[in-house]
Chains A and B, each alone.
Chain A
Amino acid sequence: MFDLLTLQQYWWLIVSIIGALFVFMTFVQGGQTLLYTLAKTEDERDVLVNSLGRKWELTFTSLVMFGGSLFAAFPLFYAVSFGGAYYVWMAILFCFIIQAVAYEYRKKPENFYGQRFYEILLYINGTLGIFLIGVALATLYSGGNFYVNDMNLSRWATQSYGLEALLNPFNLAFGAMLVFLSRVQAGLYFLNNVNEASISSRVTKVVYSNFIPFLLLFLYVFGTILFQDGYVYDSSTLVVSIESMKFLHTFMLHPSLAIIILIGLLILLYGVYIGAVKQKSSAIWWSGTGTVLTVTILLFILGINNSIYYPSLADMQSSLSVENSSGSLYTLNVMSVVSLLVPIVISYIVYVWRSMDATQITIDEVKSDSHHY
């Protein structure tokens, strides 16, 4: 079959794509934070919740899949990051536990805590949950405080177990960037999925007010990634060292990646433009495609060109690369065969999505449906 490095990079690409698809799907979380911004009446709010409610599980599953593929392909990352940045990951989990019940229980009679409570849970999931995931993803560039010993067993260097990442402006900007992006995408998604003029009329303002901070944060984050010192490893000795402007060099070495990310950004901008200015329902597909391309490349560059994808701030030589943290050749081969299922899964998701969203959702439909959120 394939050599180990090819498989490691293939799996890093798959992880990057799943991560990118998850970021796109966070329009669900973004929408959860807009329930009182885009909707002014109870009926409008119900239609937004029901529109998101038919998609939230896909976002949830994408997150689980992101974790699962990291576990299978890069178990050392799973052990080091999840077992070390404990408080951050636990906080993320709490934010997602509360989402799962909120849709189903929100409108149910005798739901014990009241409708507003479940809406607050959705808001927390949409803001704190996405922000913390952004912070966790940012540490792939900015690093974590961990040690890995000779037996590949790891421990965290600080007693704050990952919370110290919140003191790094880059991490904070990354988290906030994802929150604003999710809200932009949510506005465009509602244009596509909801047929209520009163809601659509409020989308433009929401998209603008979230896109501007997103863009500023993105420029800061992307600029930092390009020009910061990057960690690299020597492929024969696996010794880690620092290289100035490491990721800029990666783009220069692989111009195709620079072109893809540029195309991704342009498509994203075009999607936002036709959504916010022209109220086109297809906007989400443009911005979504742009998001997936951009995020895939941003993550993928961490796994190629001898890059370290999880730098250790406590001990540089403990840093993780695709080469020193992956599953065995046999397991990666097995998983690569399994990955042939991905197109099938994507096909039926697309088919079902198209069938279910052939007509836009309306207040009347929600009211007449015996099962609604």
Chain B
Amino acid sequence: MEHSELLVDYSRAQFALTALYHWIFVPLTLGLTFIIAIMETIYVKTLDEKWKQITKYWMGLLAINFAIGLATGIIMEFEFGTNWSNYSWIVGDIFGAPLAIEGLMAFFMESTFFAVMFFGWEKVSKKAHLTSTWLVAVGSNLSALWILIANGWMQHPVGMKFNPDSARNEMESFAEVIFNPNAVSKFLHTISSGYVLASLFVISISAWYLLKKRDIAFAKKSIVVAASFGLVSSIFMLTTGDESAHQVALNQPMKLAAMEGLYKGEERAGIVAFGLLESEKEIGDDLDPFKFMFEIPGALSFLGYHDVNAFVPGIDDLILGNEKHNIISVKEKMIIGTKSVQALSDYKKYKKENNTIAMNEALKTFRATSHYMGYGYLKKPEDALPNVALTFYSFHIMVTAGSWFLVLFILVLYFSMKNELTKKKWLLRLAVITLPLGYVAQECGWIVAEVGRQPWAIQDLLPVGMATSNIGSTSVMITFWLFAILFTALLIAEVKIMLKQISIGPEGH
């Protein structure tokens, strides 16, 4: 079933819209729940009422964020069915399991103990309450684990085999799916980035109080917890980022090439520290991909393959092929893929006709070609290329911002320890304005991961053009705009409420 480009574009746009809105709220929940749990632990250990007040204040802000995160989250699960129904069948046998486990293991834990965390202060013991708070943190992170196992599988499908009778991929090894290296690195990198954002959130709001010379003790205490948590998380995030890039190099070389704007592959490939892409650049031409750039030699080879001399394939190599490095062109893959699609169709036809010999022949051809089956659905080789500019700039904004966050945490923690933070107005101002950058970095991370792997819904197996539901594009256009209006309306309310609560402050004035 072929889909119109408009349908595919709007289906992608709707999913991206939902995911990008959802991703404004989720990272904060992932980290803030842990920060709150740490603060409450200090309260339970010290019985200092000040820490209880601090815990409750940040809990209040968490609740505002949590509600809208939940609202945007429910859609994502159902959108796999509503907008990606072919996908739901073709890979649902593998993809559905982690989603169901997420619901069972994580969502119930979150929703059950969430009520205790907010309303149980006077109803359960201190220890039971603290346990509930920790369980909410664990529950939200477990949720991230399962959804990222699912996402990691989309980026690097393992542990399954295509069943021509049911015309879908079927799971063969659950262990391979859950211990998929791509999923593990993705999970660790994503949650640590959430912890960093939550730390920035607490530091930024506390810094604003310090600049306003109000709620000083509250702000100082909050900053110490958040900066310590943020520093550890930042280091962890950079380490897991390195592993994520390694996984991308191994399994998604086109994404890596797009992230770095690398057209002609090379040994000792460098990382572009900063640069401006040449918009006229086309696949296979001799135009320099950059108007200008500054490069760190050998760094990309090292980052991608842990070998400074390794060859990193570029976009031209991956699209047009490179005999020297044994890379076959997309055109050749498309020919093999087309054979595969035809063989599957023949197999079904001959099976219906009870023509066993022809059926077995078709099956043999299918088995020999099915590794490139996804390419059989592409229309032209250039379709295998993601949006280079969007991927490149998003990646570089994310990395630059992430590095700055580490510096900020070090500075804030250092001056906090020396009890000089209130005097460092420049640092407090920087801390306040860094929060929006934290959100930008989060969204960029999502763009790198998801735009960078286009056109694949499942890497190399299923392009987005084949994965959508078989519905009219007008229907998706209508719901896209309804979602856009609704989410924006809710976001406005959320921001207004959040700002008001921040201005009211922990003392309620």
Contacts and interface: CB of A to CB of B under 8 A. Distances in A.
Chains A and B belong together in one complex: yes
Interface of A: 50, 54-55, 57-58, 60-61, 63-65, 67-69, 71-73, 75-76, 78-84, 86-87, 89-90, 93-94, 96-101, 103-105, 108-113, 149-156, 159, 161, 327-328, 330-331, 334-335, 338-339, 341-342, 345, 348-349, 352, 355-356, 358-359, 369-371
Contacts of A161: 471-472, 475
A105 B119 contact: no
A155 B77 CA distance: 20
Given A334-B97, A358-B123, A154 B470 contact: yes
Given A69-B100, A93-B75, A352-B115, A101 B81 contact: no
Contacts of A76: 89, 92
A72 B107 CA distance: 16
Contacts of A86: 82, 469, 471, 475, 479
B102 A68 contact: yes
Contacts of A71: 77, 80-81, 88, 92, 95-96, 99-100
A331 B482 contact: no
A118 B158 CA distance: 45
Contacts of A64: 74, 77, 103, 107
B411 to A, nearest CB: 33
B1 interface: yes
Nearest to A339: B104
Given A72-B96, A100-B70, A355 B120 contact: yes
A80 B85 contact: yes
Contacts of A50: 119
B72 A97 contact: yes
Contacts of B108: 58, 61, 65, 345, 349
B94 A153 contact: no
Contact of B67 (A80, A105, A370): A105
A227 B75 CA distance: 37
A103 B97 CA distance: 31
Given A72-B99, A79-B89, A352 B60 contact: no
A330 B171 contact: yes
B477 to A, nearest CB: 12
B475 A371 contact: no
16 contacts: A61-B107, A65-B100, A67-B81, A68-B99, A71-B88, A72-B100, A82-B82, A97-B490, A101-B68, A104-B64, A153-B1, A156-B471, A330-B171, A331-B170, A334-B171, A355-B128
How big is chain B's contact interface, by range? 35 or more
Interface in B456-509: 469-472, 475, 479, 482, 486, 489-490, 492-494, 496-497, 499-501, 504
Contacts of B114: 57
Most chain A Cβ neighbours within 10 Å, of B68, B100, B101, B110: B100
A84 B84 CA distance: 10
A79 B493 contact: no
Contacts of B470: 83, 153-156
A110 B171 CA distance: 50
Contacts of A154: 85, 89, 470
A358 B100 CA distance: 31
B84 A75 contact: no
A97 B21 CA distance: 13
A90 B82 contact: yes
Contacts of A155: 1, 470-471
A150 B349 CA distance: 9
A334 B123 CA distance: 38
A184 to B, nearest CB: 24
Q: Which 4 A-B pairs have the closest CB atoms?
A: A83-B85, A82-B81, A75-B92, A100-B71
Contacts of B479: 86, 90
A172 to B, nearest CB: 23
B64 A108 contact: yes
Nearest to A59: B111
Nearest to A155: B470
Nearest to A326: B93
Nearest to B117: A371
Contacts of B71: 96-101
B391 to A, nearest CB: 29
Contacts of B83: 83
B168 interface: yes
B88 A328 contact: no
Given A101-B68, A108-B497, A331-B93, 5 more contacts: A71-B77, A71-B81, A72-B96, A331-B171, A342-B104
B415 interface: no
Contact of B81 (A81, A96, A159, A341): A81
Interface string B147-172: 00000000000000001001110111
A148 to B, nearest CB: 9
Nearest to B84: A83
A89 B174 CA distance: 30
A108 B92 CA distance: 41
Contacts of B486: 94, 97-98
Nearest to B1: A153
Given A54-B115, A101-B68, A355-B120, A96 B74 contact: yes
Contacts of A371: 56, 59-60, 63, 118-119
A352 B479 CA distance: 38
A111 B504 CA distance: 14
Contact of A328 (B78, B101, B163): B163
Contacts of A345: 104, 108-109
Interface string B169-198: 011101000000000000000000000000
Contact of B119 (A100, A152, A356): A356
B116 interface: yes
Contacts of B70: 57, 60, 100
